[in-house]
Structure 1
Amino acid sequence: MSDVAALKATADATVAAVATELITLSETLHANPETAWQEHRAAAWVGEALTAAGFRVTPRYLGLETALLAEAGSGPTIIGIMAEYDALPGLGHACGHNLIAASAVGAGLALAPLADELGLTVRVYGTPAEEGGGGKIELIEAGAFRDLDLAMMVHPAPVDVAEARPFAVSHSHVAYDGVSAHAAAYPDQGVNANDAFLVAQVAIGLLRQQLPADTRVHGVQTVGGYAPNAIPERTEGRWYTRANSLAELSHLEERVRRCFEAGALASGAALSITPESKPYSEFRPDERALEFYRANALARGRVFADPEVAGRMNRASTDMGNVSQLVPAIHPYIGVGSLPYGNHQKEFAAACVGPVAEQALLDAAVLMAWTVIDVVATDPSSLPPTKASYTPKASNTPKESAA
């Protein structure tokens, strides 16, 4: 086996040689945002880039229309690199998934020529619907990821942060059904579904006073009625509840549910709460791989943020947390120089193209490849826990509820 420095130099040179293609892929995704489960062009473009590089590409992976699997090599150590590519409704790529997808392709291309020498099977997964749809969870339930020795991705953020500490989160669709009536002539014949939502939101606002500081409850009302002279018979919304772990989340969800039930009780409207996806888990990082990433990032010239700044974006929830409960995983953040703006703002979307974003893209690809080289080549006897020895944690499965 070649020495680590030579392997890293080869990976670096490979990424540099395809830099123009990676940047073009990122810009194309950014200019053509597709939301959760609608990423048909994104999945095709990522697949085409990997096919052109000699990867064995499986579109519509495990029956998911916008998922894919691309493989190179056939070694015993299996590395999974996650390519997210869904955008946010109304905000485009304000979470930088265009950079995630392009850097995942870059890392795959960097590792493929080294696969035989390092004994690797390199996999790039196209994982749809991270923004609330739980695409990786759907893939897990279909059998994906379980044989990986290491799963990884790098996520754009305002600043560099090595360790992901995301909240566990549940995503719920909330609806009230009432009775429509003329608001002036027959108001007593109506059951106001909008009032139900108003009562619930007031109750949640009051509940927040008694919640721990490390929890979050937030959402939007998407349907509030259609005409001011007709009592609203249907209202809908989307609500997220976040806590430090799935266990804490389960307790918090019950308290939030009672707030929605209060709206139904006060108004007489019927309540239904339906999960939009399985809950996202907290993240369990593989410490050895994470330390290699930190060292490589510093060697690459990246600068990690002060802890007071770092303790913000790395709390964002991700379905990569569910992957980390099954296999060793890391999910570092790489800065695009967007401060004072952060993820899920239109200004952050603007920061995900241009020279700073391009450097972050190329650095992320190289750093993932370097980290894999370190994990495999530096001390083969201390590989991260494999699929045979890594103890998965049970996931939490929500149930549809109605009241």
Structure 2
Amino acid sequence: MPTAAASSSHASTTVEDVVRRRSGELLELSHSLHAEPELAFAEHRSCAKTQALVAERGFEVTANAGGLDTAFRAEFGSGPLVVGICAEYDALPGIGHACGHNIIAASAVGTALALAEVADDLGLTVVLLGTPAEEAGGGKVLMLDAGVFDDIAATVMLHPGPIDIAAARSLALSEATIRYTGREAHAAVAPYLGVNAADAVTVAQVAIGLLRQQLAPGQMCHGIVTDGGQAANVIPASAELRYTMRATNSESLRALETRMAGCFAAGAVATGCEHTVEETAPAYAELIPDPWLSATVRAEMLRFDRSPVPEEVEASVPLGSTDMGNVTQVMPGIHPIVGIDAGGASIHQPEFAAAAAGASADGAVIEGAIMLSRTVVALAGDAAQRDRVLELQQRRAS
């Protein structure tokens, strides 16, 4: 009988062969998603496209996973080690796939298709998760809360970026909409009869600007005015802000939220307005990459002659926030950054959107799928690591 090591080695070769054999279909998927960008919770075409190839392969697809119209769960195999692969496919308003979620989805599908070929040999159940609304809305958080991840022992995905990072981190994040309500008046005839909601916005933003000097390391805030009035000659009776707050961890984020709440209240106190603060989406926790899985991905990056940033500087590389952080808070998981050539541009820039359908992005789809699938194969074939993640999953379930 072949040894576990021999079986794992054969499976590693098999999954790479599968990805390369199906590379044309994966790149077609990436380009199709890129050509028809859809926003959070409205990714109906993208959701359908992302599940099509695995459905053809025999995956059992559950639509509306977690009660979300544009989420799905596609499952193959019956092994005791259940591994999730997250596919994101939402785009950004105005600039399309400037975060490269088309690359994420296509590489996730490639990973799932590859692992299906070795699932029986490795005792795997492969779960491809269509996770909507990462950019705004926290699809993974909602799916976690609904129990979609309950039986999964470890979860993997990747994200494109300007550089390679094996053990990528992210910041905790929360978003809020702040509404001020005052009273209209003619701006020239009787301004003293008005209560100016736009002035409340100004006071709040000045307070936030002054607060920035005292923010703790890793804390940051940024926002926009979404309503500042309708006519220059009318004292605005309503105005609205939308702010994002970030911090290195959830505890620091809660402290920042408290201080920001004081700034929002200051606008109301100074002007006599009423105000409300409403959380617009579930909070994102900081991403905690699993060390063993991250080390395995690093080795895969090096095998492809990529240059991941050194381990000692990974934690200091500035990153954004992701709802994958919430997943890694409850189970082993990874969210490596796979570099593409965007001519010096970074994510959320129009130039990056253009690059997300270029040759370098195509390489990231194929190499990324190979790296993730070989990482899962390594996990399944390493008895100690396999037992570790299974034991953690059993503890969660008990």
**TM above 0.5:** yes
What CA distance in whole angstroms lies between the structure 2 residues aligned with 1:328 and 1:385? 10
Q: Using the TM superposition, give the Cα deviation of residue 297 of structure 1 relative to its aligned residue in structure 2, in angstroms.
A: 1.4
For residues 178-214 of structure 1, the C-alpha deviation after alignment (integer angstroms, 9 at most, x for no partner) is: 1112111121111111111111111101100111231
CA distance in 2, matches of 1:213, 1:35: 32
Secondary structure of 2:82's aligned partner: strand
Between the two proteins, what is the percent identity of the paired residues?
Answer: 45
Q: Which amino acid in structure 1 is aligned with residue 17 of structure 2?
A: A
**In structure 2, what is the Cα distance between the partners aligned to 1:248 and 1:3?**
45
Partner of 2:262: 258
In 2, Cα distance between the equivalents of 1:199 and 1:314? 30
Moved more, 216-225 or 109-118: 216-225
Find the aligned partners of 1:59 and 1:287 in 2 and give their Cα distance. 33
Aligned-pair CA distance for 1:310? 5.7
Look up the SS of the partner of 2:99 in the other structure. Answer: coil
2:196 aligned to which of 178, 184, 192 = 192
The residue that corresponds to 1:169 in the other structure is 173
Equivalenced residue count is 391
In the other structure, the counterpart of 1:160 is 164
> Is there any run of 5+ residues in structure 1 with no aligned partner, and where?
393-403
The aligned counterpart of 2:75 is: 71
Match of 1:289 in 2: 293
Partner residue of 1:46 out of 46, 50, 57: 50
Alignment of 1:177-188 (within 5 A): 177-188=181-192
The correspondence for 1:333, drawn from 330, 337, 357, is 337
- Correspondence list, 1:233-272, <5 A: 233-272=237-276
Q: Which runs of 5+ in 2 are unaligned?
A: none
Distance 2:42 2:124 in 1: 32
Residue 237 of structure 1, CA deviation = 2.1
Aligned to 1:395: none
Q: State the Cα deviation string for residues 311-358 of structure 1 (Å, max 9, x = none).
A: 676621111011111111111000012252111111111111111000
The DSSP-based 3-state class of the residue aligned with 2:212 is helix
Is the Cα–Cα contact under 8 Å of residues 219 and 252 in structure 2 kept in the other structure? Answer: no
The aligned counterpart of 2:386 is 383
- Root-mean-square deviation (CA, aligned residues, Å) is 1.7
Within-5 A mapping of 1:24-35: 24-35=28-39
TM superposition shift of 1:380 = 1.4
d(CA) in 2 for partners of 1:119 and 1:353? 35
Whole-angstrom distance in 2 between the partners of 1:105 and 1:275: 33
Structure 1: distance between partners of 2:231 and 2:209 = 27
Q: Does 1:204 align with 2:208?
A: yes
- 1:218 corresponding residue in structure 2: 222
Match of 2:211, SS? helix
1:79 and 1:148 in contact (8 A); partners too: yes
Query: Which one-letter code corresponds to 2:389 in the other structure?
Result: T
Letter in 1 for 2:303: A
> Does the CA-based 8 Å contact 2:168-2:314 persist in structure 1?
no
- Following TM superposition, by how much is the alpha carbon of 1:306 offset from its aligned partner in structure 2, in angstroms? 5.9
Q: Is 2:66–2:142's contact at 8 Å kept on the other side of the alignment? A: no
Evaluate the alpha carbon distance shift between residue 307 and residue 369 of structure 1 in structure 2; reply closer, same or farther with a 3 A threshold: closer
